[in-house]
């Protein structure tokens, strides 16, 4: 990800008086382009009735800058994606040090953890999602082929 | 018949429930159900309690808490598992962070079914809990 | 100065749910609060791996037993957006009515718990007695007291007859009268003012920077209400967001008091405007598997909730995510607790209307 | 000889009186909350059960201290009816209350400890009230024992209006009623869990309950002292005061400790102290 452009966009939202709505991550399982899997991370903001978000594709190990300097409340989301997805967020204003959820299995939402669970299910004959992502415009392939991450923020729908 | 059947004091702990059973436990105290008629008091303090009402299932994190609370209750004491989650893990039994019902951690005397358990069945569970309490007292005395 | 650490939770009579705040006290003043959550974390978002999208709605409803209806509705709305399903009119109106009834139920529940936290047990009892009326309406119309399971992807499962709707209006009218009396106690009682006025003041700037939502933000003067977007038929309803400016605990109580009356008004308008008659279509069931993604926002009793659903064309969703209002309000809560007195802690925690099982999912 | 029997009778009958009063209280409160409430004898069932439960002592001194609490509460009443000097009775009463604070403070739990601190704060403000009240009664009647005051041919109360009002405020603390139930509360939903009693279980909690019954009976005896010419009127006055307390308990929220401290000192110093001072100035 382009750190400078990203933080500049975040600052624009901050100056524009937007409220942080959520930071959301989605794990995509391994594909040919990204053998270790990848994360689709969304930073969403709300102002009046408008809802917009920035989207980045993150590869495990990538450094993701914290936005807590502009949006102090981001610490909760950032601690969460760090703990559940294992995304390497740096520069948090409040670092809970992995004590937020303290799940029995560490980093349960990471691509490898999901893959391991699904494979175990398949081996045990338990019905569950397939450990290989479906091809097509959606799913894991979608994240890999999505437009350049720092493109203009997509206006999301409000519901 | 001893005083136990007339004065069962309750400790309520929410394991990892969805709140549904918890609010129904609280609803038992309020005017429509009014369990204080039977001398039931929601103590909120393990050292005063006779009946341990647990809602929700067990996850890694609350195992210690549940054991600790149970340990702090003076004998005789009984455990009532309220709702499907407390009985077996319920709908969340398949979730990755859930280990199952309360009986994985502490001995359960009464199981109250339901998702969410209705106040009537919770009261019924407490009444059955009283009977169990009475038995344990007799055992202690003999 | 002697420092005491009070472990507030996980089991504490003031909190029906487990959350831990390690309060560091100097005498009775809180100098720091360290939160820990995770006691209710079930990981239900990850259940999409094993639960088909058609059944996932029942899991989502159990994110929280207080806003169960709205969670089910939000999930169905997301999938309806992805699958391009047009929900029949009557079903939309019924959803709106149930959603507002949920709001009344949740606010009454909270007002009771709040009163209990500042030691006014009598008010707790009276609020919960009124709440039983609402639960009765729920039970009559959906079959469940707290978990309703009436939402389906494409509509609703049950109809409510016009006669029943008229009866609901009568009951709400009665409830409104009784509620006015209780509301005036909250608003005017000096002993309540002693506990709430000037306690836990959140300025409008802080409300924005801590990303507060719902009654929390509205009590600090921010007119944020997701319903104003007009989705889900709210564009056909005449209402103004309830805003207070003081930003203290009493303002947060006042917002919820006024919202109960507002919701009764909204339900009245809805019953008036909805298409009448027996046997109207209630659902358009979609075919096939969903593919695509959707963000859905709703105004729950506790504030804005955001659902994210990503589907990949199989019967299992790729990702389900709910960002619940309490999660968004936790930064504000932590900020407010610092510097307050021990006796204020329950009031501050409760005025954000914490729903921990929502927060941790 | 006669008075000693009264003292003994108090030790035996006061718990019955106090327990029954608590039972009536719980039922009336429940009615005010549109509930039915527990049976009248519920407090006795509760204590009976607590005595059958296993007791967990967090600290070996808690037991003896709480036993001391009960014994001294009973002794206060016995000494009062037994004809001891009124001022001395007020001191024994304070000492009895202090035992509870010491017992709660001996537990190593922050809730119990903070509860003890709060109790100590209100104790320091409310105990002088009883001493001043006794001084006022002695000054008006010119005698210094319970029996003598009751035999005094004129009403004591009309000359002690400040003390009567202050009595209501202090009784709110002593009876642990909202808004002044900051150190422990009858409904256990406050920030300190069960405050003072958080760490007491089984037998120990039963002691606290029984001592509280004695305390209610002592307050009743004090009311009779103020309405000295006719004990039925004294009892009625106590009944009215108690009904007021229940009403206030059910229509207020719990105050913060600063307000409790301020109002107790105001009651003790301004109302009670002013009343006694006026007696001395006028009486000279």
**Cβ B20–C68 below 8 Å, yes or no?**
yes
> Which residues in chain A have Cβ-Cβ distances shorter than 8 Å to C331?
72-73, 75-76
Cα separations (Å) of D78 from D68, D91, D132? 15, 14, 20
Distance from CA of B31 to the nearest CA of D (A): 5
The 10 Å Cβ neighbour count of residue A148 is 9
Sign of CA dihedral C155, C158, C163, C169: negative
CB–CB of B61 and C355 under 8 A? no
Q: What CA–CA distances, in Å, run from C135 to C101, C148, C265, C266, D281? A: 9, 11, 18, 18, 65
Q: Using a CB-CB distance cutoff of 8 angstroms, which residues of chain A are in contact with residue B99?
A: 104
Question: Residue D239 has what pLDDT?
Answer: 92
Average pLDDT over residues C28-38: 77
* Closest residue of chain B to D205, computed from CA coordinates: B48
Q: Judge: C312–A142 Cβ closer than 8 Å, yes or no.
A: yes
Write the DSSP symbol of residue B142: -
Between chain B and chain D, the number of residue pairs with CB atoms below 8 A apart is 83
Q: Are A36 and A60 in contact (CB under 8 A)?
A: yes
Q: Do A22 and C310 touch (CB under 8 A)?
A: no
Chain D residues with CB inside 8 Å of B38's CB?
38
Q: Which two tokens stand for residue D254?
A: 């719990």
Query: pLDDT tens digit string along D123-164?
Result: 887 888 888 888 888 888 888 888 888 888 888 888 888 888
User: pLDDT at position B1, please?
Assistant: 55
Candidates B41, B5, B9; CA nearest to B127 is B5
- The Cα C96–Cα C270 span in angstroms is 8
Residues of B with CB under 8 A from a CB of D: 2-4, 6-7, 9, 30-31, 34, 36-39, 41-45, 47-48, 50, 72, 74-76, 137, 140
> Residue C317 in 3-state DSSP?
strand
Are A40 and A25 contacting, i.e. CB atoms less than 8 angstroms apart? yes
Q: What is the ipTM of this complex?
A: 0.83
Q: Is the pLDDT of residue B60 over 90?
A: no
Residue B31 to residue D35, Cβ atoms within 8 A:
yes
State both tokens at C121: 């047990």
- Between residues 239 and 268 of chain D, which touch chain C (CB distance below 8 Å)? 250-257, 259
Q: Lowest mean pLDDT of A106-115, C216-225, D214-223, name the range.
A: A106-115
d(CA C85, CA D268): 73
Chain B: give the shortest CA distance to residue D265, in Å: 32
Which residue, among A29, A35, A34, has the nearest Cα to A110 in the 3D structure? A29
**Is pLDDT above 80 for C27?**
no
* 8 Å CB contact between C212 and C200: no
Closest CA to A6 of A136, A150, A124: A150
Question: Does residue C348 contact residue C13 with C-beta atoms inside 8 Å?
Answer: no
Residue A98: give the domain boundaries: 3-155
Inform me whether the C-beta atom of residue D37 falls under 8 Å from chain B C-beta atoms: yes
CB B95 to CB C128 under 8 A? no
Identify all chain B residues contacting A106, using CB atoms and an 8 Å cutoff: none
Q: Which of D135, D156, D132 is nearest to D268 (CA)?
A: D132
**Are A70 and A87 a contacting pair, CB within 8 Å?**
no
DSSP E strands in chain C: the ranges are 3-8, 20-26, 29-36, 151-152, 155-156, 291-300, 303-312, 317-323
| Residue D158: per-residue pLDDT | 85
Could you tell me the residue ranges of all domains in chain B?
3-141
What φ, ψ does residue C341 adopt, rounded to 5°?
A: -95, 160
Between the CA of residue C41 and those of B66, B86, C231, D94, what are the distances in Å? 15, 15, 31, 50
B3-141 in CATH: which number? 3.40.50.12280
Mean pLDDT of C310-324: 87
- Under an 8 A CB cutoff, do A103 and B99 touch? no
**Quick check: D182 contacting C, CB < 8 Å?**
yes
For the ranges A137-141, C168-172, C202-206, C308-312, the lowest mean pLDDT is seen at: A137-141
| Mean pLDDT confidence for B27-33 | 88
Which of the residues C119, C128, C193 would you substitute to probe the D interface, choosing the one with the greatest number of D C-beta atoms within 10 Å? C119
Cβ-based contacts of C10 with chain D (< 8 Å): none
- Calpha distance B49→B41 (Å, rounded): 9
| CA gap B83, B13 in Å, rounded | 13
User: With an 8 Å Cβ cutoff, are C120 and D252 in contact?
Assistant: yes
| B-C contacts at Cβ under 8 angstroms | 126
The DSSP line for C42-70 is --GGGGGGTS-HHHHHHHHHTT-SSSHHH
User: Looking at beta carbons, which residues of chain D come within 8 Å of C343?
Assistant: 182, 191, 254, 256-257
CB under 8 Å to D182, separation ≥6 — which residues? C343, D118, D122, D190, D195, D254, D255, D256, D257, D260
Contact C21, C345 (CB under 8 A): yes
**Nearest C-alpha in D relative to B75:** D54
Q: Averaged over C3-30, what is the pLDDT?
A: 75
Residues of B in contact with C11 (CB under 8 A): 11, 13, 44, 46, 65, 69
Where is average pLDDT lowest: B54-68, C6-20, C77-91? C6-20
Res A112: pLDDT: 80
Question: Using CA atoms, how far apart are residues C333 and C73, in angstroms rounded to an integer?
Answer: 27
**Averaged pLDDT score across all residues of chain C:** 86
Q: How many angstroms separate the CA atoms of C267 and C170, rounded?
A: 11
Which pLDDT value is given to residue B142? 72
Strand runs labelled E in chain A: 19-28, 38-47, 50-58, 63-65, 88-90, 154-155
Per-residue 3-state assignment (H helix, E strand, C coil) for D75-120: HHHHHHHCCCCHHHHHHHHHHHHHHHHHHHHHCCCHHHHHHHHHHH
- pLDDT level of residue A138 (50, 70, 90 thresholds): very low
Give me the torsion for CA of B36, B14, B63, C68, rounded to 10°: 150
Tokens of D155: 């009403």
Match 């309020």 to its residue by tokens. B30
Q: What is the distance in angstroms between the Cα of C142 and the nearest Cα belonging to chain D?
A: 28
Q: Three-class SS of residue D188?
A: coil
* Cα–Cα distance for residue pair A69/D185, rounded to 1 Å: 44
pLDDT for the residue C99: 92
Q: Any contact of D with A, at least 3 CB pairs below 8 A?
A: no
Q: Mean pLDDT, to the nearest integer, of B6-28? A: 87
Exposure string of C114-133, with b = 16+ CB inside 10 Å and e = fewer, is bbbbbbbbbbbbbbbbbbbb
> Are A21 and C211 in contact (CB < 8 Å)?
yes
Residue carrying the six token digits 């004491």:
B77
CA distance A13 to A53: 10
Share of chain A above pLDDT 70, in %: 82
Query: In CATH, what is the architecture of C42-356?
Result: Orthogonal Bundle (1.10)
Spans of chain D below 50 pLDDT: none
**Chain C interface includes B57 (CB < 8 A):** yes
CB distance from A126 to chain C under 8 Å? yes
By the CB < 8 Å criterion, does B60 face chain A?
yes
Q: Are C71 and C61 in contact (CB under 8 A)?
A: yes
CB C359 within 8 A of CB A76: no
Q: Say yes or no for a CB contact (<8 Å) between D49 and B42.
A: no
Pick from C190, C194, C191, C212: which is nearest to C203 by CA?
C212
> Domain locations in chain C?
42-356
Q: Which band of pLDDT confidence, cut at 50, 70 and 90, is reported for residue A151? A: very low
Give the pair of three-digit tokens for residue D90. Answer: 């007020």
- Are β-strands B78-82 and B51-55 bridged in parallel, bridged antiparallel, or unpaired? parallel
CA distance D47 to chain B (A): 9
Residue A157 near chain B (CB below 8 Å): no
Q: Determine the residue among C8, C10, C115, C118 to mutate to test chain D binding: the one whose Cβ has the most chain D Cβ atoms within 10 Å.
A: C118
Tokens of C237: 């309803």
**What confidence score (pLDDT) does residue D157 get?**
84
With an 8 Å Cβ cutoff, are B96 and A102 in contact?
A: no
For residue B63, the chain A residue with the least C-alpha distance is A104
Please name the residue that has the structure tokens 């409008």: C204
The larger pLDDT score, comparing residue B96 to residue C125, is at C125
CA A10/CA A70 separation, integer angstroms: 7
By CB neighbour count within 10 A (0-12 exposed, 13-18 middle, 19+ buried), where does B5 fall? middle
Structure tokens at D2: 């006669």
Residue C139 to residues B17, C22, C98, C328, D193, Cα–Cα distance (Å) = 21, 40, 11, 31, 34
Per-residue confidence (pLDDT) for residue A141, from 0 to 100: 37
pLDDT surpasses 90 at B80: yes
Average pLDDT for B30-54: 87
**Residue in B9, B20, B63, B119 to test binding to C, most C beta-carbons within 10 Å:** B20
Which residues in chain A are contacts of B96 at CB distance < 8 A? Answer: 103, 105, 108, 117
Mean pLDDT: which of A6-20, B58-72, B126-140, D235-249 is highest? D235-249
Residue A27's SS3 state is strand
Q: Which two tokens stand for residue D65?
A: 């201290």
Mean pLDDT, chain B, integer: 86
Q: State whether D253 and C119 contact (CB < 8 Å).
A: yes
DSSP label at residue B97? T
Residue with token string 């004065």: B7
Average pLDDT over residues A7-32: 84
Q: Cβ separation of C294 and A99 shorter than 8 Å?
A: no
Interface touch C125/B31, C-beta < 8 Å: yes
Of the candidates C13, C192, C343, which has its C-beta nearest D193's C-beta? C13
For the ranges A82-96, A143-157, D64-78, the lowest mean pLDDT is seen at A143-157
Chain C interface includes B39 (CB < 8 A): no
pLDDT of residue D121: 83
Alpha carbons C13 and B29: distance in angstroms, whole number: 14
In B1-142, where do the E strands start and end?
9-14, 41-42, 51-55, 58-59, 78-82, 98-100, 110-112
Residue C194 has a CB neighbour count (10 Å cut-off) of 18
**pLDDT confidence bin for A158, thresholds 50/70/90:** very low
**Tokens 């149930």 sit at which residue?**
C98
Q: Which positions in chain A touch B61 (Cβ < 8 Å)?
A: 102
């Amino acid at each position: 990800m382009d750190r400078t452009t990203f933080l500049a966009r975040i600052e624009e939202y901050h100056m524009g008086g937007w409220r942080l709505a959520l930071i959301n991550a989605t794990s995509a399982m391994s594909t040919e382009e990204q053998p270790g899997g990848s994360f689709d991370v969304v930073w969403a903001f709300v102002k009046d009735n408008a809802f917009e978000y920035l989207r980045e594709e993150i590869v495990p190990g990538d450094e993701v800058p914290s936005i807590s300097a502009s949006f102090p409340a981001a610490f909760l989301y950032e601690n969460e994606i760090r703990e559940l997805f294992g995304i390497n967020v740096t520069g948090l204003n409040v670092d809970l040090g992995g004590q937020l959820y303290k799940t029995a299995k560490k980093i349960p939402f990471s691509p490898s953890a999901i893959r391991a669970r699904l494979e175990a299910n398949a081996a045990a004959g338990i019905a569950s999602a397939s450990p290989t992502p479906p091809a097509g415009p959606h799913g894991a392939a979608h994240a890999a082929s999505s437009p350049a991450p720092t493109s203009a923020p997509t206006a999301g729908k409000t519901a | 018949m001893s005083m136990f059947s007339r004065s069962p004091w309750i400790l309520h702990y929410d394991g990892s429930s969805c709140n549904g059973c918890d609010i129904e436990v609280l609803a038992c105290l309020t005017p429509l159900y009014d369990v204080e008629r039977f001398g039931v008091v929601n103590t909120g303090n393990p050292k005063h309690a006779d009946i341990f009402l647990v809602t929700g299932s067990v996850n890694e994190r609350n195992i210690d808490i549940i054991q600790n609370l149970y340990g702090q209750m003076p004998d005789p004491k009984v455990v009532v598992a309220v709702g499907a989650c407390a009985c077996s893990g319920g709908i969340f039994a398949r979730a990755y962070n859930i280990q199952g019902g309360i009986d994985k951690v502490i001995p359960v005397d009464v199981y109250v079914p339901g998702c969410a358990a209705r106040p009537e069945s919770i009261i019924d569970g407490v009444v059955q809990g009283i009977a169990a309490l009475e038995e344990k007292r007799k055992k202690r005395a003999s | 100065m002697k420092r005491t650490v009070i472990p507030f939770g996980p089991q504490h009579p003031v909190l029906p749910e487990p959350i831990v705040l390690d309060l560091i006290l100097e005498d009775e003043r809180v100098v720091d609060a360290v939160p820990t959550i995770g006691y209710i974390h079930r990981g239900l978002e990850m259940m999409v791996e094993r639960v088909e999208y058609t059944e996932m709605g029942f899991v989502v409803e159990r994110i929280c037993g207080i806003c169960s209806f709205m969670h089910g509705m939000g999930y169905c709305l997301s999938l309806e957006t992805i699958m391009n399903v047009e929900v029949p009119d009557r079903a939309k109106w019924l959803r709106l009515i149930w959603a507002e009834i949920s709001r009344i139920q949740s606010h009454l529940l909270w007002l009771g718990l709040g009163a209990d936290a500042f030691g006014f047990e009598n008010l707790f009892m009276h609020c919960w007695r009124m709440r039983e009326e609402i639960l009765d309406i729920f039970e009559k119309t959906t079959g469940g007291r707290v978990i309703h399971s009436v939402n389906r992807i494409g509509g609703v499962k049950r109809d409510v007859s016009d006669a029943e709707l008229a009866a609901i209006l009568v009951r709400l009218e009665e409830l409104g009268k009784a509620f006015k009396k209780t509301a005036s106690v909250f608003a005017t009682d000096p002993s309540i003012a002693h506990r709430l006025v000037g306690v836990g003041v959140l300025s409008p700037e802080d409300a924005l920077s801590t990303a507060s939502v719902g009654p929390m933000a509205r009590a600090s003067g921010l007119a944020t209400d997701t319903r104003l977007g007009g989705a889900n038929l709210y564009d056909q309803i005449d209402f103004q967001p309830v805003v207070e400016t003081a930003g203290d605990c009493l303002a947060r109580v006042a917002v919820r008091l006024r919202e109960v009356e507002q919701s009764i008004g909204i339900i009245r308008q809805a019953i008036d405007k909805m298409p009448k008659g027996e046997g109207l279509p209630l659902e358009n069931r979609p075919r096939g598997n969903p593919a695509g993604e959707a963000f859905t926002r709703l105004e729950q009793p506790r504030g804005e909730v955001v659902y994210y659903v990503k589907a990949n064309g199989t019967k299992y969703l790729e990702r389900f995510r709910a960002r619940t209002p309490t999660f968004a309000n936790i930064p504000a809560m932590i900020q407010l607790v610092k510097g307050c007195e021990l006796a204020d802690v329950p009031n501050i925690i409760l005025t954000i209307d914490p729903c921990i099982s929502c927060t941790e999912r | 000889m006669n008075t000693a029997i009264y003292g003994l009778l108090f030790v035996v009958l006061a718990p019955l009186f106090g327990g029954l009063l608590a039972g009536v209280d719980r039922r009336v409160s429940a009615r005010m909350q549109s509930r039915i409430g527990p049976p009248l004898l519920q407090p006795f069932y509760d204590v009976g059960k607590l005595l059958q439960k296993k007791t967990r002592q967090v600290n070996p001194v808690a037991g003896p201290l709480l036993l001391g609490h009960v014994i001294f509460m009973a002794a206060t009443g016995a000494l009062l009816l037994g004809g001891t000097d009124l001022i001395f009775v007020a001191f024994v009463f304070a000492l009895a209350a202090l035992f509870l604070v010491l017992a709660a403070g001996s537990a190593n739990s922050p809730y119990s400890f903070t509860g003890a601190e709060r109790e100590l704060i209100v104790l320091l403000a409310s105990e002088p009230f009883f001493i001043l009240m006794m001084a006022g009664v002695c000054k008006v009647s010119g005698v210094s024992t319970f029996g003598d005051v009751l035999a005094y041919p004129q009403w004591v109360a009309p000359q002690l209006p400040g003390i009567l009002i202050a009595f209501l405020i202090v009784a709110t603390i002593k009876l642990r009623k909202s808004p002044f139930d900051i150190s422990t509360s009858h409904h256990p939903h406050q920030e300190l869990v069960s405050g003072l009693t958080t760490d007491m279980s089984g037998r120990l909690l039963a002691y606290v309950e029984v001592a509280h019954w004695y305390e209610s009976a002592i307050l009743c005896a004090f009311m009779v002292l103020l309405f000295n010419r006719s004990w039925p009127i004294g009892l009625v006055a106590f009944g009215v005061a108690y009904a007021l307390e229940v009403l206030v308990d059910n229509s207020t929220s719990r105050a913060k400790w600063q307000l409790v401290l301020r109002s107790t000192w105001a009651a003790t110093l301004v109302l009670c102290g002013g009343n006694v001072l006026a007696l001395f100035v006028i009486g000279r």
